[in-house]
Structure 1
Amino acid sequence: MRVIFERNVTIPMRDGVRLSANLYRPEVGGPYPVLLTRHPYGKDTALSTALLDPTVMAEAGYIVVIQDVRGRFASEGDFESYAQEFEDGYDTVEWAASLPGSDGQVGMFGTSYFGYTQWQAAAMRPPSLKAILPVMTYNDAWYGSAVRGGALEWGKLASWYTSAIALPELMRKKRTDPNLPMMVAKLVSFYDQLPSKGLFELPLSRFSIFRELDLLGDLFYEVFEHPNYDATWEATSIRPHYDAIEIPSFHVGGWYDVFAQPTIDNYLEMKGRGRHTRLLMGPWSHTNYSGFVGDVDFGMAASAMVRDLKEDLTVFHRKWFDLTLKKSNAFGLADEPPVTLFVMGVNRWISAEAWPLPDTHLTPFYLREGRAADAEQKSARGWLSLDSPNREVSDAYDYDPADPVLSRGGNLLTHPVYGVGPHDQREIEKRPDVLLYTSDVLEEDLTVIGPIIAKLYVSSDAVDTDFVVRVCDVHPDGTSINIVDGIRRMRYRASSVAPSLMTPGEIYEVDVDLWSTAMVFQKGHRIRVHVTSSSFPHWDRNLNTGANNGTTAEMKVARNTVYHTEAYPSHVMLPIVTLA
C-alpha cells in the first residue's frame, strides 16, 4: 500500500493559535483510525518515530499524526509546558477524528512528555479518543517528575531544560539574530560543563544561562518558587482526573526509568477503577530500550526491538491499537495476561494476572550491626538479617553537602557522565558516609518482585536532612550492582503540602519509597543495603539548614544517625515470590 506524507499541516486551536503536524496516510481505502502523538522535541526529528514507524502503521491501515506542541518548532504560540496540553490535546484529537479518511476513532501514543500529553487529553474526555499507550510517563509534574521523596530531581531538571528544551527554543527564538552561533556555543558549553560546574552552583536558582539568553521566561525557575506541593502543581496533575478517564490504556515502563513507579501507579489507578488496562515493564532506562543497560547485559530478548524474540516496537503498538480501535484480536493480545514483566537476574519475561503478584510475601530484612566473627561482614560494616535486632548500637555519620555522594547509575535522566541503570557501586561503598548492611551468602535463589519500602528510625543534629536508601545485588566477585533506591527529605516526611522541620536529636520513624523491581538474587550472591544522605546530582543536596534549598547557598554538616535496636528496628521490606 502506498503511503502519502504531508508535512507542516496546520491545526487551529480554540484560541486561534495554529499548531503544526506531519501526517502519514494510506493512499487509498478507508476509513481508518488515527494514531496521534504530541510532543515538544520536534516532529521532524528521529525521536518522533523511535517508538512507532508511521509508514509501517499507515501501510497497516492507520492515519498517523505527529504534532509539535504549542510554542515548539513549527507550531505557533508560547511554550508553557504542561498547562497548555489539556485543551490543545482535546482540540487536536477532535481535529484528527475529522480528517478525510478517518473513521472517527483516535488512539494516542508516545513516551515521557508525549506520554503525559496523552493523559492530559484523556482527562478532557474528547469523545473521539478511544485508547492510549503511554510509555515511561508520569501522573503529576511534581511527584516522580520534578520531585521524589521531597527532593528535587535536580540532574534531570537541569539537563533536560538545558538540552531538550532550551537549545531548540534558542534556535527558534533567535533564528534571525546574527549572534545566534555564539549563543548556541555558550549554551552547549554550559551543558558540557554541568558535571564540573553548573550542577554544583549555589543557589540552584542562580542557574543563570536561561535568563542570560532570554529563554523560557520563568518556566524553569518556577520550581524554586513552589518548593512545596501547591495549587500550581495540582493544576497540571492527572491524579484528580483519574475517575474521568475510562478509555483503554497500556502502560509501558522500565525498571531503571526515571518514571518507573509513576508508570506502575497509573496502571494501578486504572485497574482499580475497572478499566481495560495493561502493564509491561522491561529492564530499560528512559533512553535505552536495548538488552544492555548500564553495566549489565540482560540478553537479546530483553531488547524492546525484539521483545521476547516476538515483536518490535511498531508491532507492539499495532497489537494494542488493532485490538482497541479495530476490534481485531489477530495478534492474540486479548488472550494474554494483563501484566508482563522482565525479571532481572534470571533475565526472562513472565506474565501475571495482577500487580503486585499473587502470593507475594512482604518480608522484613533488618539492619544489624556487623559480626566480628565474619571478616567479610565486618569489612562491610553492617549485617542485613531476617532476625530483628536486640541490644545493638546505632550507626552515625557526617553528611557534608559540600562533598555529596555522587550518583552512579540508577533511575537517572541527566548528564551521561553519571551513567544510568545498573552500575558497580564499590567506589561509593568506600565512603565513610555510606552505611552498608550486607546479608549472608544466599543458599538459594531469592525472587523479589514488587514495591520495596525501607522503614528507618533516624535522628539528626540538623533541622532538615535527607536519607537515601539503596538495595544492591552483590556478586561472588564483590561487584555490587544497584537495583533500586529512594530518598526521603525529612521536612516532607509527613506531608508534601505542609513541611515540618525536625527537632535535633529526636528520633523519627520514616518510610523511604524505593519504588519497584523484578529481580532474582541468585544463590551465592548477597543482598546489600546502603543508607546515606545524598545521591547527587540525581537529587539536589539538602543543605541541612531548613531554608529553601533552591534559593540559598548556606550549608552545614549534619550528624545523622540510623537506629537498629529492639525499639527501633530499621528494615527494608522485600516482596518475595516464588517463580514457577
Structure 2
Amino acid sequence: MIKQYRFLLIIPLLSFYLFVKAQESQGLSYIREEVMISMRDGARLRTIIYRPAAILEKLPFLLTRTPYGAHQFIEPGKNDYVMPMAKEGYIFVNQDIRGRHKSEGTYQMMRSSHPKGSKEIDESTDAYDTIDWLLKNIKNNNGKVGMYGISYDGWTAIMGAVKPHPALVAVSEQASPADMYMGDDFHHNGAFRLSYGFEYVFSQEAAKTDTTFSFPIYDTYDWYLKLGPLSNINEKYVHHQLPTWNNFIQHPDYDAFWQKQAVSNQLDTSHVQVMNVAGWWDQEDFYGPLKIYETLEKKGAGNKNTIVIGPWNHGQWAYWAGDQLGNIKFGSPTSDKFRTEIQAPWFAYYLKGKGEGRFPKAITYQTGSNTWKTYSEWPVAGVMAKNIYFHGCGKLSFETPQEPANQYVAYVSDPAHPVPYRPRPIEATFQRGSRWSSWLTEDQRFVKDRPDVVSFETDPLDQDIAVSGKILANLYAATSGTDADWIVKLIDVYPEDYKSEPTMGGYELMIASEILRGRYRNSFQKPEAIVPNKVAQYSIDLHQINHVFKKGHKIMVQVQSSWFPLYDRNPQRFVLNIFKATANDYQKATQRIYTSKQYPSSITLPIVKQ
C-alpha cells in the first residue's frame, strides 16, 4: 500500500515536470480530437480540438472558424502564431465552416447575419452552437471562450460577436473584411478588384476544397488584357458556375445586397471585448479592421474596443518575424512583439484573469521613425489638418496655388495600355513566388515616367513631418470621357544619397493609396455619367497612416486612371453595368488634373504638432 501511494503521488509531480519542460522546450504536447458538431438546423461541422496532454487547471477555449481547412491548423505546440498562448494554456478549437472541406451544409461566401430571434442560420448562430457544444462536452474548461483569426477567419470571429454566446468573452478580428464593396477584397469605392476577385472566388467556389485557376501564361497582365470585357469570364471560362462572380454581375452598384453584407450594418456593442488588428501595407483587408473599430466606437464600445496596427502585409504578424516587408526594413521583429507582448497578454487577461489588464486604446507602429506608439484614442487628437497642393510645374507644396483657373496637367488614359499595378511580370495571386503579398511596398519609380501617370513632389524636407490619422485627396479633374477612374498615391521619396542603405537611394515608397470610380462621385447607389470636359471635385478617402517623412526625404503624389489588372479597366464611356460592357465601349480619354487657385487639387494631411 505504501508503494502504491508513492506511485500515485509521483504521477502528478511527473506530469507537472513534463509540462514545464515542454513549455521550456516549446515542444508542448497536445491530444488531437476530431468531432462533428451538430448545428441547430442539423448540419454537422467538422471540428478539430487540441487539448494539452497535461491540464493543471480549467482552461478556456480559443476558437477559429475557417473556410480554408481546419486540418491545416498547425499543432499549437509547433505554431508560431499561437505559441505564446499555447505556453499559457488553452484548449484550441478549429472548425470548417459549413459547406467547406469536411463540414456539411451549403457554403455561402460572407453569409450575412440575421436579426436576433430569427430561425435562420448564419455564421453567428454556427459560432453560438459550437460554443454551446464545447462547454457541455469538453471537460476541464473554465466556461470562457475567445475567438480569433485572420482574413476570412477574422470575419467569422467578428461575426461570432454579432449575436454572441454568453461565454464568448474576447474576440480578436485580424484583417477582417468589413465591406466588400467600399474597401476590402472585391471593390474599392465602386472599382472592381479584377485579378484578386476572380482568382479568390475561383479558389473558393470552383470546388469544395481550395483550388486555383490554371493560367496558360506566366504574366497574368497579358492574360487579363487579352480577356477583353468582363463578360468573357463567364462566356469563356466559368460558365456561370461561380455564385459570387454572378453576384458581381447582378449587383454592380452599392445596393441592398452589399449593404446587408457589410459588417457595419450588422455589428453592435455587447459584453464582448474586441481587439482589431491591421497592417499598414495589407494588400487585401486594410479597410476592414479600421471600419470595424470605427463602427464599434460610434456605437459606444468604449474600453471594450482597441486597435493594433503594425508595419505588415496581410497576416504577416502570424508566422514571420516582421522585421522586413519587401525592401523595407524595420530593425526589429515587429510580429514577435505582437504575438508575445500584445496578443498573448490580452487573451490571458480576459480569458484567464492574468495580468493587470491595462491595455492602450491604440497601439500603432509609426513607419518612417520605425517605433511603436501607444495612444489613449485613435485617430489621435492634437493634429493639424493641412493641405499640401499640386502645382502645374510638378511641384507639391503647402503653398496655395496662384495659377489661373485653366491651369492643369493632362494625360491620355488608354484602356488598351493600362498602367500595371506592380512591376511585370505579374504572377498569379496564389502562385508560389508571387509578389502579391508585398506589392504595396514596391518602388513606384517603375511607373514614374509613363505618360499616363503624373507626379508632384516637394523639395527635400528641411525637417521631419509626422502625419497621423485620416488622409483625404481633394482632386479637381475633368475627362473627355463620360466615366473615369482616379487613383491617388501618397509616396515617401528617399534621398538619392542614402548612406545607411545605398540600394534604397531614391526609393519611392507608397504610404497610402486609393481609387475612386468616377461614376460614383455623388452616390455609390446611383451611378451617374460624367459630363465631358467639365471640372468636378473628387474626394478620395486615403484612409489612415502613422508615418514620419524624414528630413531630406521628399513627399510625392502620383495620379493615374488605371491600375491593372488589380482593378478592371474602366471603359471611360458610361455604361449601366461594366460587367456587361462590350469591346466597343472601351475608349481613350484625356484626363486633366487642375492645379489652379480656383481648382486647387491637394491632399489633406493630419500633421502632428511639434
Q: TM-score per shorter chain, which class?
A: 0.7 to 0.9
Determine whether 1:561 maps to 2:575: no
Which of 238, 253, 264 is the equivalent residue of 1:228? 253
Contact kept in structure 1, 2:482 and 2:573, CA below 8 Å: yes
Which of 240-249 and 492-501 deviates more? Answer: 240-249
- CA shift in 2, pair 1:11/1:58, >3 Å: farther
Contact kept in structure 2, 1:283 and 1:344, CA below 8 Å: yes
Contact kept in structure 2, 1:125 and 1:244, CA below 8 Å: no
Matches within 5 A, 1:242-391: 242-257=267-282, 258-272=284-298, 273-275=300-302, 276-289=304-317, 290-302=322-334, 304=335, 306-307=336-337, 313=339, 316-329=342-355, 332=356, 334-370=357-393, 382-391=394-403
Equivalent position of 1:105 in the other structure: 144
- CA shift in 2, pair 1:269/1:546, >3 Å: same
Where structure 1 has 5 or more consecutive residues not aligned to the other structure, the ranges are 172-183, 371-381
SS of the residue corresponding to residue 530 of structure 1 reads: strand
Equivalent position of 2:67 in the other structure: 40
| Separation in structure 2 between the aligned mates of residue 369 and residue 301 of structure 1, nearest angstrom | 43
Contact kept in structure 2, 1:337 and 1:352, CA below 8 Å: yes
Equivalent position of 1:577 in the other structure: 608
| Separation in structure 2 between the aligned mates of residue 105 and residue 408 of structure 1, nearest angstrom | 45
| Separation in structure 2 between the aligned mates of residue 225 and residue 394 of structure 1, nearest angstrom | 38
Q: Select the structure of larger CA radius of gyration.
A: 2
- Provide, for residues 442-501 of structure 1, a one-character-per-residue CA deviation record: whole Å limited to 9, x for no partner: 001111121211001111121111111001111121322211111111111121111122
SS of the residue corresponding to residue 34 of structure 1 reads: strand
- CA shift in 2, pair 1:407/1:506, >3 Å: same
Contact kept in structure 2, 1:293 and 1:421, CA below 8 Å: no
Which of 466, 474, 480 is the equivalent residue of 2:508? 480
Equivalent position of 1:130 in the other structure: 169
- CA shift in 2, pair 1:394/1:53, >3 Å: closer
Determine whether 1:403 maps to 2:417: yes
| Separation in structure 2 between the aligned mates of residue 133 and residue 148 of structure 1, nearest angstrom | 24
Which of 415-424 and 241-250 deviates more? Answer: 415-424
Contact kept in structure 2, 1:8 and 1:74, CA below 8 Å: no
Determine whether 1:219 maps to 2:233: no
Equivalent position of 1:179 in the other structure: none
Determine whether 1:240 maps to 2:268: no
Contact kept in structure 2, 1:53 and 1:314, CA below 8 Å: no
Which of 192-201 and 499-508 deviates more? Answer: 192-201
Equivalent position of 2:134 in the other structure: 96
| Separation in structure 2 between the aligned mates of residue 264 and residue 191 of structure 1, nearest angstrom | 37
Contact kept in structure 2, 1:10 and 1:20, CA below 8 Å: yes
- CA shift in 2, pair 1:147/1:106, >3 Å: same
SS of the residue corresponding to residue 25 of structure 1 reads: strand
SS of the residue corresponding to residue 71 of structure 2 reads: coil
| Separation in structure 1 between the aligned mates of residue 421 and residue 342 of structure 2, nearest angstrom | 33
Contact kept in structure 1, 2:49 and 2:92, CA below 8 Å: yes
Where structure 2 has 5 or more consecutive residues not aligned to the other structure, the ranges are 1-18, 20-27, 112-121, 497-505
Contact kept in structure 2, 1:169 and 1:215, CA below 8 Å: no
Residue identity matched to 1:41: Y
| Separation in structure 2 between the aligned mates of residue 54 and residue 425 of structure 1, nearest angstrom | 36
| Separation in structure 1 between the aligned mates of residue 416 and residue 343 of structure 2, nearest angstrom | 47
Q: CA RMSD in A?
A: 2.7
Equivalent position of 2:559 in the other structure: 531
Which of 157, 182, 192 is the equivalent residue of 1:143? 182
Contact kept in structure 2, 1:211 and 1:217, CA below 8 Å: no
- How far does residue 413 in structure 1 lie from its aligned partner after superposition? 10
Identity of paired residues, percent?
30
Q: What TM-score do you get using the length of structure 1 for normalisation? A: 0.87
- CA shift in 2, pair 1:191/1:270, >3 Å: farther
Q: How many residues align?
A: 542
Residue identity matched to 1:530: Q
| Separation in structure 2 between the aligned mates of residue 558 and residue 7 of structure 1, nearest angstrom | 61
Equivalent position of 1:462 in the other structure: 481
Equivalent position of 1:375 in the other structure: none
Determine whether 1:161 maps to 2:205: no
Equivalent position of 2:539 in the other structure: 511
Determine whether 1:550 maps to 2:579: yes
| Separation in structure 1 between the aligned mates of residue 524 and residue 106 of structure 2, nearest angstrom | 30
Which of 354-363 and 192-201 deviates more? Answer: 192-201
| Separation in structure 1 between the aligned mates of residue 107 and residue 240 of structure 2, nearest angstrom | 11
SS of the residue corresponding to residue 144 of structure 2 reads: strand
| Separation in structure 2 between the aligned mates of residue 99 and residue 226 of structure 1, nearest angstrom | 43
Contact kept in structure 1, 2:260 and 2:266, CA below 8 Å: no
- How far does residue 348 in structure 1 lie from its aligned partner after superposition? 1.3
Residue identity matched to 1:384: L
- CA shift in 2, pair 1:486/1:221, >3 Å: same
SS of the residue corresponding to residue 514 of structure 1 reads: strand
| Separation in structure 1 between the aligned mates of residue 385 and residue 587 of structure 2, nearest angstrom | 38
- How far does residue 522 in structure 1 lie from its aligned partner after superposition? 1.0
- How far does residue 364 in structure 1 lie from its aligned partner after superposition? 0.2
- CA shift in 2, pair 1:209/1:501, >3 Å: closer
SS of the residue corresponding to residue 204 of structure 1 reads: coil
Which of 507, 516, 522 is the equivalent residue of 1:494? 522
Contact kept in structure 2, 1:150 and 1:496, CA below 8 Å: yes
Residue identity matched to 1:39: T
Residue identity matched to 1:88: D
Contact kept in structure 1, 2:190 and 2:517, CA below 8 Å: yes
